[in-house]
Amino acid sequence: MPEKIASLNVQHKMGDGAGVLIESAELRIIELPLITPFVISTGTMTGKTIPLLVLKGEGLQGIAEGVMDPFPDYLEETIPGAMAFLREVLLPSIIGKRFGSPYELDAVLSPWRGNRMAKAMVEMAFWDLWAKSLNVPLKVLLGGTGDHVDVGVSLGIASIETTLERVDEAVAQGYKRTKLKIRQGHDVKLVEAVRKRHPDIKLTVDANTVYGLSDLPVMLALDDFALDYIEQPLAFDDIHDHAKVQAMLRTAICLDESIRSAVDARKALEAGAARVINIKVGRVGGFIEARAIHDVCAAFDAPVWCGGMLESGIGRAHNIHLATLKNFSKPGDISSASRYFQRDIVNEPLEAVNGEMAVPGNGAGIGVTLDYDYLDTVTQHWEST
Ligand code: OSB
Ligand code: MG
């Protein structure tokens, strides 16, 4: 174990029963087939590989999934890298310890640079465990309210004809926003066709970082379609040029990949690089950071919405609880699990009705439970500590 871990000693409230003792952990990699391949500007996904963490303590289980990919094509983190960091660093530093709250746990995680997706797995699983130990729904501890959240769909890259069919279907199902994935050569004509067929729907596009300043004519053309926002047109590590482009557009820019922290959000909003932020709890290191971003954005009057990463029911449930916070005022990417998977790994169906997703469960924590029969059949790797 690196020396730094041994020296990180969090304050324990030993003996008074407060908090939860983390006794052991289980780590899996699962592989869920996708009903339809999901194509974005940076690549195609035909199946969803998901690292899954279960923290166990005091007869309870806290569960979370990671949003990193097998290869670093969305952001830098990868599943193999996260598995090693979890196995060798993060899990040894928390197992056998009692944490009074996620803030105490965060004191162990936050000194490490980067690796926010891996840290988020631990943090989110602990929030679930902590909520269960207090016997309250996760949303209550997060400060959210309400029983439903507004949701939209994210449509992968396909022909104009296929996209129009998918948009028709999403609109018919009552989804409250349609997001089209775009890339060079698959942008203005596509948006024009969808807009022509549906003049009044809430429509957005997501370029997943693929444009540069040389694509300015495309971004200016997209400005004419009354889009609710243009998501992450430029590089994942760029704020400066997003500010340049935002100054030339009436349409809001929404940042996704560029925002890892509340400090990033503050700088982006101060610079005028965006007017909307996509918050993915798994991307930013967990709920503490997600809430901090939410609060910074509220202070700037910038709406936020909950992003998605084709999560299983575990991540989807976490996202729904987060989206109950007040400034999540735009529909999130939390559509029905059945759009992605023939069968989910949780027992509770997570299906949108009229563009709303119900907060799962009436009970404690994230409100969904693992379907172990199915989980075992899709598990590629299993280890425990
Ligand atoms: O940019 O929001 C994105 C999926 C994989 C990688 C990046 C993104 C997405 C999505 C999917 O848009 C949203 C969903 O889970 O439905
Ligand atoms: Mg995005």
- Region 7-33 average pLDDT: 72
pLDDT for the residue numbered 11? 33
The DSSP string of 17-76 is --SEE--EEEEEEEEEEEEEEEEETTEEEEEEEEEEEEEEETTEEEEEE---BSSSSSSS
Give the Cα separation of 271 and 317 in Å (integer).
33
d(CA 31, CA 33): 7
Residue 373: its pLDDT value, please?
A: 98
Each residue of 261-277: pLDDT tens digit? 999 999 999 999 999 99
Query: pLDDT digits over 213-228, tens only?
Result: 999 999 999 999 999 9
Cα–Cα distance, 350 to 274 (Å, whole number): 31
Calculate how far, in angstroms, residue 309's C-alpha sits from the geometric centre of ligand 1.
5
> Does 5 have pLDDT greater than 90?
no
Non-local CB neighbours of 204 within 8 Å, separated by 6+ positions: 152, 177, 178, 179, 180, 227, 228, 229, 230, 231, 254
Entry field: residues in the chain: 385
Q: Is the pLDDT of residue 10 over 80?
A: no
What share of the chain has pLDDT > 90, as a percent? 94
Nearest ligand, measured from the Cα of 45? 1
* pLDDT at residue 362 in the model: 76
pLDDT exceeds cutoff 90 at 6:
no
What angle separates helix 102-109 from helix 287-299, to the nearest 10 degrees?
100
Ligand 1 within 6 A of CB of 340? no
SS3 287: helix
**DSSP reduced 3-state for 138:** helix
What average pLDDT does the segment 18-39 reach?
A: 97
- Give the model's pLDDT for residue 44: 96
Residue 356 has pLDDT above 50, yes or no: yes
pLDDT-based confidence at residue 15 (cuts at 50, 70, 90): very low
pLDDT at 141 over 50: yes
**Contact between 56 and 26 (Cβ < 8 Å):** yes
Q: Strand pairing of 253-255 and 276-279? A: parallel
Q: Which of 132, 139, 280, 330 is an active site residue? A: 280
Question: Taking residues 254-265, what's their average pLDDT?
Answer: 98
